[in-house]
Amino acid sequence: MKIDIVTIFPDFFRGPLDHGIIRRAREAGLAAIEIHDLRAFAHDRHKTVDDRPFGGGEGMVLKPEPIFESIEALNVEAREGRAAASQSVVLLSAQGKRFDQSVANELAGLERIVLICGRYEGVDERVGQYLADRELSIGDYVLSGGELGAAVIVDCVTRLIPGAVGNQASTQQESFTTFSEAQTGSGPSSTCTSGGLLDYPHYTRPADFRGMGVPEVLASGNHEEIRRWRRRAALEKTLRNRPDLLERAAFSDEDRKLLGEPDRG
Ligand code: SAM
């Protein structure tokens, strides 16, 4: 997969893209990530990329010309043919559609994504209307720039590229991954896919840490019992922390039963 990031702060990405899974995916040739300085597409000696807003108001707005020229220089497919070419040009924006695990899965299936990072009061609206094919927000809050959002998207998407994570089954069994997105049959029988809910709790050694124990069932060796405990714990945690996820989730008869069962951990 090829990922291009257009930004006025290219150095911002030195840290986030140079560690862990992203670094390994880059080194293995699974993801080619390139950072492009928007100011290289400015035409005056001050490298101006912003201007005052039409209609008045606070702050400055990123101008359309350097952004359009930067994307044209990348030889991305025209907007109409982009989906067929397995490409997407994304504008990071607080006003965009919410980026979530299912959008991450969709982007991970593409051959190329380009991320445009806004700054100041935002980006000239014509970029979203005529150049980008989608606007994405990483959450309901306002960041000072699109760079953190782009780093979040690159991280989520890269780890979903087949081969990026050592054990691919682990990306199938995480929070927010629906049953249809997860490849069935992956992982041992004691694990379970979240089915769009939160992941189940994880524990490791020591079994007794400062008097804080680990649920006994996890050491029982009974895979079916462990799977059932994990599923119930995931359901309970989702109910506690993210009840909104339960509204969209498909419940099995077993789920309903598990929620009613006493805790034997
Ligand atoms: N005036 C804009 C608004 O109220 O929606 C906020 C502009 S923000 C200060 C500057 C840039 O940060 C945006 O153009 C966008 O690229 C990025 N940004 C801010 N919040 C974001 C979010 N939640 N998700 C993705 N990008 C965001």
pLDDT 10s digits, 86-141: 999 999 999 999 999 999 999 999 999 999 999 999 999 999 999 999 999 999 99
Q: Which amino acid is at 179?
A: F
How far, in Å, CA of 91 to CA of 11, rounded?
19
CA of 115 to the centre of ligand 1 (A): 13
- Looking at the DSSP bridge assignments, the partners of residue 115 are 5, 90
Whether residue 58 has its Cβ less than 6 Å from ligand 1: no
**What value does the mean pLDDT take over residues 211-222?**
97
CATH class, range 173-260: mainly alpha
How far, in Å, CA of 39 to CA of 85, rounded?
28
Residue ranges per structural domain of the chain = 2-158, 173-260
Answer yes or no: same fold for 2-158 and 173-260: no
Whether residue 98 has its Cβ less than 6 Å from ligand 1: no
H and E: helices and strands count for the chain: 9, 7
Q: Is 71 within 8 Å of 89 (Cβ atoms)?
A: yes
How far, in Å, CA of 191 to CA of 193, rounded?
7
Residue nearest to atom 1 of ligand 1 (CA): 121
CA of 33 to the centre of ligand 1 (A): 22
How far, in Å, CA of 246 to CA of 128, rounded?
33
Q: Which amino acid is at 86?
A: S
Q: Is the pLDDT of residue 188 over 90?
A: no
- Looking at the DSSP bridge assignments, the partners of residue 3 are 33, 113
Whether residue 128 has its Cβ less than 6 Å from ligand 1: no
Indicate which atom in ligand 1 lies nearest the CA of residue 122: 14
Topology of domain 2-158, per CATH?
A: Alpha/beta knot (3.40.1280)
> What is the SS3 assignment for 115?
strand
> What's the number of CA atoms in the CB half-sphere (13 Å) around residue 134?
17
Q: Which band of pLDDT confidence, cut at 50, 70 and 90, is reported for residue 264?
A: low
Of 99, 136, 143, the residue with max ligand 1 atoms within 8 A of its CB, to mutate for a pocket test, comes to 143
The pLDDT tens digits for 159-187 are 999 999 988 777 878 999 988 887 655 56
Q: Which segments of the chain are extended strands (E)?
A: 2-7, 32-37, 50-51, 61-62, 87-98, 112-116, 134-137
Q: Is the pLDDT of residue 245 over 60?
A: yes
**Bond preceding residue 66 cis, omega within 30 of 0:** no
Indicate which atom in ligand 1 lies nearest the CA of residue 144: 9
Indicate which atom in ligand 1 lies nearest the CA of residue 99: 24
CA of 241 to the centre of ligand 1 (A): 26
Closest CA to 144 of 124, 115, 117, 125: 117
| Per-residue pLDDT at 183 | 66
Angle formed at CA 71 by CA 68 and CA 77, multiple of 5 degrees: 115
| H helical segments located in 13-160 | 20-27, 64-73, 101-108, 125-126, 147-158
Q: pTM above the 0.75 mark?
A: yes
